[in-house]
Structure 1
Amino acid sequence: MSKLPTTSLDRRRFLALSAGAALGASALSACAASVDEGGGSGKGGSGGGGRTTLTVMSVDSEMDKKTIAAAEQALGVKISYLGFDQTKLNAMLASKNPPDVVRGSGATDTPYFAARGLMADLDPYFAKSAALKVSDLDPVNDLWRYDGKTQGAGPRYGMAKDYSQDAMFWYRADMFEAAKLDLPGGTEPLPYDEWLDLGKRLVKRRLGKVKVYGMNAGGGNTAMFMGMTASAGGRLFADDLASVDFSSPEALKALRWYLEYAKANIGPSPVNPNPDGWDWPTYQANRMAMASDGYWFGGMIGGDAKIAEVSRLAPAPQLGSHRISPCFGATGYWIPKEAKNKDAAWKFFEWYFGGQPAKDRAGSGWGIPTLKSLHPMMPQDKPYQKQAYTVQQKELPYLQVMSVTPYTQVTALDAVINKVLPGAVRSDRSAGKVADALNSQMNNLIAKGKELVG
């Protein structure tokens, strides 16, 4: 995740600490080049004893000393670990000396980097792999595909390590019961208006200040608005992905809803960020009734038996009749086109995504496995795990790939939202005027990026 204060993003994007820095001019000025055919030589830097040195840019929680040691032993390579830093990554890509393996978000990174010819085409590797069979890939991995026009089609440029359908939400059954409210169902999703009404009824205030959030509806970021707009039957991005339109009836409906949520001050938003920085401390401290976090949040819940006893998972709310339950992250790894050790990087892929690390993640409850064959390993022993598993399995068919623009990084678009919304709420600006401001500023960024891509 990039940041937690005002967003209900997953743990992985929080830990990434990604920035919205643009790529160096040398990388941006060229039009998208043909992608690598997967025939990396496997030659590159050597570690001690002549071993290949594999440079992996990741985060400490995923590539700790224990994991690095296991990878080195399993693969017979030396791992050179780099902490994820977007600015440093952009500079390395621009100088054609990138890491061999890079952590990223399939949902938001794929079109941007693939359109610039910076990602290796992994289809030839998948075609030959016994460990990672295309037929076994969960559909979420389509977020790592891009054919030059559409996300979800074309070559595979990476793979998710685990995922959640991030618009789903967890709720505290004890708080519902105390308020004499019916518990949300596990099959039929709530309409957004009903969900908002529940949040208003669950909030608790003292002396005009919120003591218990009724809900966290999400950070009002680009991905969230894409999902809401799609649920209403529309699209936030134009067909050519070269512009956004918050003024369409469907997107305006989503914007009006979020503005009402923010003005009601019943949960964190860009206007009033959560002082705790993210949902878990607040939820655990009995100060949040509903948290818009996907299946992965169960990994946190499982660490507190009292909280686990009263926690339940619910389907993603819907703004319209087109049911959708998106993934906003699909966090995983990709191999740069200019990587020096592609063959060794692919061996890391097979071990990390198809070997023991993948099995360990599957049984942890921290995310949905991205190999279908590992789904049965998701934990179901405890009552809250069984409830979450049942709800999650029924939600899987509603996963849908939504294409983001390749012309600017989504973090830059999110920054526009975080800039516009607070003033709009405080001044009680109309949704139409907010939409105009978002369209103007976002489309200016997209247009400048399109000029550089070619």
Structure 2
Amino acid sequence: MPVPTTGSLDRRRFLTFSGAALGAAALSGCAASVDDGSGGGGSKSGSTTLTVMSTEDEKKVIQAAGTALGIKINFVVRDETKLNAMLAAKNPPDVVRGLGAVETPYFAARGLMADLDPYFADSSVLKASDLDPVNDVWRYDGRKQGAGPRYGIAKDYSQDQMFWYRTDMFEAAKLDLPSETEPLSYDEWLDLGKQLTKRRLGKVKVYGLSAAGLGTFSMLMGMTASAGGSLFAEDLASVDLSSPEALKALTWYLEYARADIGPNVANPNPDGWDWPTYQAGRMAMACDGYWFSGAIGGDPKVAEVSRFAPAPQLGGNRVSSCFAATGYWIPKAAKNKDAAWKFFEYYFAGKPGEERAASGWGIPSLTSLRSRMPQGTEFQKQAFKVQEQELAHFSVLSFTPYAQLTALEGVINKVLPKAIKAKTSAGKVADELNRLMNEQIAQGKELVG
């Protein structure tokens, strides 16, 4: 069975990375960035060694790509602190794995990412016109995401607030199945979660709903957007969880957590992520994007009773965003940019890209590969149909360039567990989150200038 390449394991692993070395690294890296990112700086043909920083589950694929290209691969396991230190020392990897949706503004604002537009312009293999719109999260114009130079490419992606459900559990509870076309409201979703939860002697035996497999901050971002607001101010230099839209999202999450119907920051899933629990019949609904079909497809019995549904909405502004867009970027100070681009062409458009597209572990990053998405079984056909309809509601939500997701998620993990148990009002929780998060963002803004 394939390993999750865009799923909760990657995200959960990412959320545990340390961000402690960012201050000096950002300043030093920014000052040291003298290469214009337009190519050059490579070794002579036949003697190139490409340093690639990625996760362990990608090691074999990356090494095979190196073999196919005649390039020696120096594989480095992805680690946030190590990456920051290498950037600060002006000796970064040639290729870095990252989450485009939440990392691009941070690294681009510090002048640490190579502009890939010249490479796209010259390539006969990778064309900007073939890129799925999700790749716009890898763009940053100095003020917001979605415009400006391209700094990376997603390897695949999902719209991360869509959810999976088990028809057998709905039928046992005598509940109607969710619509394939009309999204549930968050209140309807919460009500279903309560009805599907099973307890024994006061303890949850079957989760009715797992609502935040991606992390709480990203979930609140999406919910606030669907209510017509934004967690970040227009200049991305502060958050405001006290706004009516954000407070509505926070209130919902507090109710979800206090209802104890699914994993949350005060009571995490002992399994570590949704799949083992869902597979074992101990979770009725899982908020995981299309990538989850790769796991489900590996178990025919679970696939038979699994269906996909649109992202729930908190208001009338239908939004279905991506909060990862896991992919790769080339540091501005990388020594082998031309070889790195050759790796990009093969990895994204060659055999590895084709195999990823057919695996069900995410929507391919290139539109030309979308026809390879699996549609052989009824479960796969239903998921593909729902996913195709959902694409119309994708939009880029800009992330702040002044803080990393790890820092903001860390504030949530510090504040929310106590607040959930003490039944603190949403307003007071919002004030505390605002204070601590805005301190983090202000510190980052000082470093960027």
1:312 aligns with 2:310: no
Amino acid at match of 1:113: F
The one of 208, 218, 223 aligned to 1:214: 208
The 5-angstrom pairing of residues 389-404 of structure 1 reads 389-404=384-399
Whether the 8 Å CA contact 2:28–2:88 is kept in 1: the answer is no
Pair 1:139-2:139 in alignment = no
Q: Give the aligned CA root-mean-square deviation in angstroms.
A: 1.8
The answer to whether the 8 Å contact 2:32/2:90 transfers is no
Provide the secondary structure at the position in 2 that maps to 1:54: strand
CA offsets per residue over residues 352-396 of structure 1, 9 Å max, x none? 011111000000101000111111110000110000000000000
Contact 1:35 1:119 in 2 (8 A): no
Once residues 264 and 93 of structure 2 are traced to their aligned partners in structure 1, the CA distance between those partners, rounded to angstroms, is: 35
In the alignment, structure 1 residue 255 sits paired with structure 2 residue 253: no
Q: One-letter code of the match for 2:197?
A: V
Q: What letter is aligned with 1:180?
A: K
The residue aligned with 2:110 is: 116
1:39 equivalent in alignment to 2:38: yes
Cα separation, 2, equivalents of 1:233 and 1:187? 21
Q: Which whole-Å deviations, capped at 9, do the CAs of 1:306-342 have from their partners, x for residues lacking one?
A: 1000000000000000001010100000000000000
Looking at structure 1, the residues matched to 58 and 343 of structure 2 have their Cα atoms a distance apart, in angstroms, of: 13
Matching residue of 1:58:
54
SS class of match (1:282): helix
One-letter amino acid of the counterpart of residue 24, structure 2? A
Q: Distance in 2 between the 1:35 and 1:401 partners?
A: 30
Q: Distance in 2 between matches of 1:12 and 1:29?
A: 28
- For residues 137 and 245 of structure 2, what CA distance do their matches in structure 1 show? 23
8 Å contact kept, 1:160–1:370: yes
Alignment pair present for 1:301 and 2:284? no
Unmatched tracts of structure 1, length 5 or more:
none
Counterpart of 1:411 in structure 2 is 406
**1:228 touches 1:318 (CA, 8 Å); kept in 2?**
yes
Q: Which residue of 1 aligns with 2:418?
A: 423
With the length of structure 1 as denominator, give the TM-score of the two structures: 0.94
Identity among equivalent pairs (%): 71
Which residue is 1:224 aligned to? 219
Q: What corresponds to 2:26 in structure 1?
A: 27
Name the TM-score, length of structure 2 as normaliser. Answer: 0.95
Shift of 1:108: 0.6
Distance 1:447 1:89 in 2: 23
Give 1:61 shift.
1.0
Instruction: Choose which of 266, 287, 298 in structure 1 pairs with 2:261.
Output: 266
Helix, strand or coil at the partner of 1:363: helix
1:234 to 2:229 alignment:
yes
Q: 2:32 & 2:240 partners in 1: Cα distance?
A: 29
The one-letter amino acid paired with 1:54 is L
1:180 and 2:174 matched: yes
Partner residue in 2 for 1:384: 379
Q: Look up the SS of the partner of 1:63 in the other structure.
A: helix
* 2:165 partner SS: strand
User: Is 1:344 paired with 2:342?
Assistant: no
Please report how far the alpha carbon of residue 41 of structure 1 lies from its aligned counterpart in structure 2 after TM superposition. Answer: 2.0
> Which residue, out of 13, 24, 28, partners 2:11?
13
Aligned partner of residue 57 in structure 2, secondary structure? coil
Q: Secondary structure at the match of 2:50?
A: strand
Tell me, yes or no, if the aligned pair for 1:103 and 1:333 is still in contact at 8 Å: yes
Q: CA deviation at 1:9?
A: 5.7
SS, match of residue 349 in structure 1: helix
1:189-216 alpha-carbon deviations (Å, 9 max, x no partner): 0000000000000000000000000000
Output the CA distance in 1 between the equivalents of 2:13 and 2:265.
20
One-letter identity of the residue aligned with 2:166: R
**DSSP 3-state at the match of 2:307:** strand
**Cα 1:369–1:30, aligned 2, differ >3 Å: closer, same or farther?**
closer
Retained in 2: the 8 A contact 1:37–1:124? no
Q: Does 1:277 align with 2:272?
A: yes
The 5-angstrom pairing of residues 312-331 of structure 1 reads 312-331=307-326
Structure 2 Cα separation of the partners of residues 150 and 141 of structure 1: 14
Distance 1:165 1:95, change over 3 A: same
Deviation per residue, 1:62-120 (Å, 9 max, x gap): 122xx244212321210110011111001000000000000000001100000000000
- Relative to structure 1, is the Cα distance of residues 32 and 251 closer, same or farther in structure 2, using a 3 angstrom cutoff? farther
Are residues 54 and 31 of structure 1, via their aligned partners in 2, closer, same or farther at CA, if it must alter by over 3 Å? closer
Note closer, same or farther for the CA distance 1:205–1:372 as it changes in structure 2 (3 Å cut).
Answer: same
Q: Does the 8 A contact of 2:408 with 2:437 survive in 1?
A: yes
Cα drift, residue 42 of structure 1:
4.4
The structural deviation recorded for 1:159 is: 0.3
- Distance in 2, matches of 1:33 and 1:182, equals 59
One-letter code aligned to 1:299: G
